[in-house]
Chain A
Amino acid sequence: MNALRSILLRRETGIAVMIVLFVIAVGIAKPRFLSLEYLRIILLLTPLIMIGAMGQMLVLVARHVDLSIGSTQAFAAMVTAMMFKFHPEIPWYLGFLVSIGVGLGLGFVNGALTTLFRLPSIIVTLGTLNLYRGLTFIISDARQVDRQYIPSALKAMSTTSPILGIPWIIFMALGVALLTYWFASHTRVGRQVFALGSNPAAAPLRGIRVNAITLMVFSISGALAGLSGIMYASRWGFVNPSNTGAGFEFQVIAAVVIGGVSINGGVGSVLGVVLGVLLLGCVSAALPLLGIPGTAQSAIYGAVIIVALLIDRSVRQRGIAALAAQRARA
């Protein structure tokens, strides 16, 4: 009974219920939405956001935020695509190393600026959001890298499937989610990220190296944004200095806060974020089916972020109220 209650009260259950209700509602209006084919469409909308969201989750849990991931994605993707363009002899899979490495470097810069000068990460990454985008234009001479330069094997990651007709990149995203789950829940350093976000002032007293952890989460976020960069090239077959990664940060932050990650740090689960990404995917897939113009999308994201904030707040307040009641009883 109690176990059931605690499952029902979990944030993840709430999102799962929202997904089910949403799918049923759309399904009633458009039965086609319930087909396997639509499941595939929804899944194909998610891998990039999923990977970005895993990094962002860790950053938010550590009580920071990374607004630069869209530009990081673009820069890493551009470096990789240009490598393919000018050095077609390089094996395609090395692109992953390059893209992740470049992303890691940019993330490290974010972390270093934040820790070194004790600056709010939101302003730092607002700055690097522009800086990295500008650098993307500069290295590419403001030119798109076209389809013909992206190795076919890389593009095939998005089209060919090991099993069940589900493309490789979806498995990669799931793999990243599982790795993040392992990292966040089963490693000492992962738990230290949660401890740091939960009580930054007390963290050093427990031997947590605050600067090192902060650097690490930003580096991970950058590296995953880098990974999402080469996956962008795989999924869409081109890299554009202006379009690639534009608005990515808003999609990711929306998914992460829907997924129950608290902007006050310390709280968040991979399962919640995965569900948050799925819900966002469902919404994106349902809009064209329902004939809602794409112009509504941005307003929906904004509203979703605010609603998620309000839910987060009411959850927190219920906790405080319960505590007060407990003390009153004592």
Chain B
Amino acid sequence: MLKRHLLAGLAALGLAATFATGALAAHDFKVVYIGKNTGNPYFDSINGGFVDACKQIGCQYEFVAPATAEATSQIPIIEAQIQRGVNVIAIAPNSPDAMNQVLDEARAKGILVLAVNGDLVGNESHRDANILPVDFTKTGPNQVELMGSLIGYKGDIAILSATTEAPDQNTWIAAMKKTLAEDPKYKDMKLVATVYGDDQPEKSTTEMEALLSNYPDLVGVIAPTTVGVAAAAQVVQQRGIADKVHVTGLGLPSEMRDFIKDGTVKAFQLWSPYNEGWLAAYFADGVLNGTIKNEVGTKFDVPNLGSITIGDKNVMNTQAELTTFNADNIDQFNF
């Protein structure tokens, strides 16, 4: 799914398609993507998707992000975008509800508001659509299956998460627990603890150390957060116990490459952030030009991604299942 290297070839196709679909279409709309915060490597990749897509489509794209990921730091930026008269605001919201007012204001001005890589959970009416990398209900089972395959479906495992109330992580953890309990395939795997590293390297490391010392029989740790999985891997690497304790989770290839190469981590998963940006740009183009109806159930084609369906609550995904990264394929990914 992540064949960025094929893009060049597909570009011509994309261009041809757009020229064919609408002589009236205006493709030079202005789109801005507001990340959670600057210096977050994850967003570099989403940004890349937008940049490349806009090159194809012909739209004007800019990326901005506040210095810190606090709830209110995106508000002045949104205000500025409204004033600048952009056509599309794509945002990775720092708060599920603090931006309701200002987003409504944007929508009232006719701006298309997309939540990308995160949603306004419980406040879905304040954005037009949401683009998520995968169907989050599948993340939990996927991760459990990967863990099981690493440890031979047997032994004590633990979860190292982000903050206690991180909504995405909590959804996944609930699904993991359900999967472990209900699927007989995993009956010999026992979840002994769930701890929270608050997405800080220091805290995550301390929690990981505490896990290892509290549960000497531990054979696996799932860390469904990029900071956590790197910290957990580092602890395992330092202690030289990679053959005894398997770490997996959701990680960025750029951060995990070293651990994969030296065998500390056998495999981990993620989706393609790049495709989120790619899809968002194409979706916006389609909606603005009337070729895509922003309604639940609409299906449309996106170059490289194939057919996309708008799901419940106007949510769409770039891929069905998580991508698994291991020593064989890690070098193909540079985000």
A binding-site residues for B, Cβ under 8 Å: 32, 35, 37-38, 41, 45, 133-134, 137, 140, 142-144, 146-148, 158-159, 236-238, 240-243, 284-285, 287-289, 293-295, 297
Q: Which chain B residues lie closer than 8 Å to A294 at the CB level?
A: 163, 196-198, 200, 203
**Are B44 and A148 within 8 A (Cβ)?**
no
Q: Which residues of B contact A32 (CB under 8 A)?
A: 213-214
Q: Is A148 in contact with B238, judged by CB distance below 8 angstroms? A: no
- Report B's interface with A, CB cutoff 8 A: 37-41, 44, 65, 67-68, 163-164, 195-198, 200-203, 206-207, 209-210, 213-214, 230, 234, 237-238, 254-255, 257-259
Chain B residues within an 8 Å CB radius of A238: 230, 255
Q: Is the CB of A293 within 8 A of B164?
A: yes
Would you list the 5 A-B pairs with minimal beta carbon distance, nearest first?
A: A142-B38, A241-B39, A242-B39, A159-B238, A288-B210
Known: A134-B67, A142-B38, A142-B39. 9 other contacts (CB 8 A): A146-B254, A148-B257, A236-B234, A238-B230, A240-B41, A243-B39, A284-B202, A288-B203, A297-B203
**Interface pair B38/A38, CB less than 8 Å apart:** no
Option from A41, A158, A287 in Cβ contact (under 8 Å) with B209: A41
Identify the closest chain A residue to B239 (Cβ): A159
Q: Which of A45, A241, A242 contacts B206, CB < 8 Å?
A: A45
Distance between Cα atoms of A142 and B40 in the complex (Å): 8
B254 touches A148 (CB 8 A): yes
Question: Contact at B38–A137, with CB atoms within 8 Å?
Answer: yes
> Closest CB of chain B to A134's CB: distance in Å?
8
Query: Can you report 24 residue pairs joining A to B where beta carbons are below 8 Å apart?
Result: A38-B213, A41-B213, A45-B206, A133-B67, A134-B67, A137-B39, A142-B39, A142-B65, A144-B41, A146-B254, A158-B238, A159-B238, A236-B234, A237-B234, A238-B230, A240-B39, A241-B38, A243-B200, A284-B202, A285-B210, A288-B206, A288-B210, A294-B198, A295-B198
* Residues on B with beta carbons closer than 8 Å to the beta carbon of A240: 39, 41
Name the one of A37, A45, A289 contacting B202, with C-beta atoms under 8 angstroms: A45
Question: How many angstroms between the C-alpha atoms of A233 and B185 in the bound complex?
Answer: 42
Do A144 and B39 have beta carbons less than 8 Å apart? yes
Docked pose: A120 CA to B94 CA in angstroms: 36
CB nearest neighbor in A for B208: A288
Which residue of B has the minimal Cβ distance to A290? B210
> How far does the alpha carbon of A137 sit from the alpha carbon of B238 in the complex, in Å?
30
Query: Whole-angstrom distance from the CB of A33 to the nearest CB of chain B?
Result: 9
Smallest CB separation, B327 vs chain A (Å):
15
Tell me if B41 and A243 are in contact (CB < 8 A): no
B40 neighbours in A (Cβ, 8 Å) = 144, 242
Give chain A residues whose Cβ lies under 8 Å from the Cβ of B65. 142
A85 smallest CB distance to B (angstroms): 12
Q: Chain B's nearest CB lies how many Å from the CB of A244?
A: 9
Q: Is A143 a contact partner of B39 (Cβ separation < 8 A)?
A: yes
Q: How far is the CB of A285 from chain B (nearest CB, A)?
A: 6
Given the complex of chains A and B, what is the CA–CA distance between A151 and B258 in angstroms? 11
* Cα separation A195 to B79 with both chains bound (whole Å): 54
Q: Specify the chain B residue showing the minimal Cβ separation from A241.
A: B39
CA–CA, A60 to B214, complex, Å? 40
Chain A residues with CB under 8 Å of B197's CB are 294
CB distance from A266 to the nearest CB of B (A): 33
Write the nearest CB–CB distance from A49 to chain B, whole angstroms. Answer: 10
Looking across the interface, which residue of chain A has its beta carbon closest to that of B258? Answer: A147
A243: chain B residues within 8 A (beta carbon)? 39, 200-201
Report the minimum CB–CB distance from B185 to chain A (whole Å). 31
CA distance A125 to B164 in the complex (A): 34
Known contacts: A144-B39, A242-B40, A242-B68. The answer to whether A289 contacts B203 by CB under 8 A is no
By beta carbon, the residue of chain B nearest A32 is: B213
B202 CB contacts on chain A under 8 angstroms: 45, 236, 284
Residues of A within 8 A of B214 (CB): 32, 289
Alpha-carbon separation in the docked complex, A278 to B14 (Å): 61
B114 to chain A, nearest CB (A): 22
- The residue of chain A having its C-beta at the shortest distance from the C-beta of B38 within the complex is A142
Knowing A137-B67, A142-B39, the reply to whether A35 touches B213 (Cβ < 8 A) is yes
B contact residues around A287 at 8 Å (CB): 206
Question: In the complex, A294→B210 CA distance in Å?
Answer: 14
Cα A45 to Cα B235 in complex, Å, equals 13
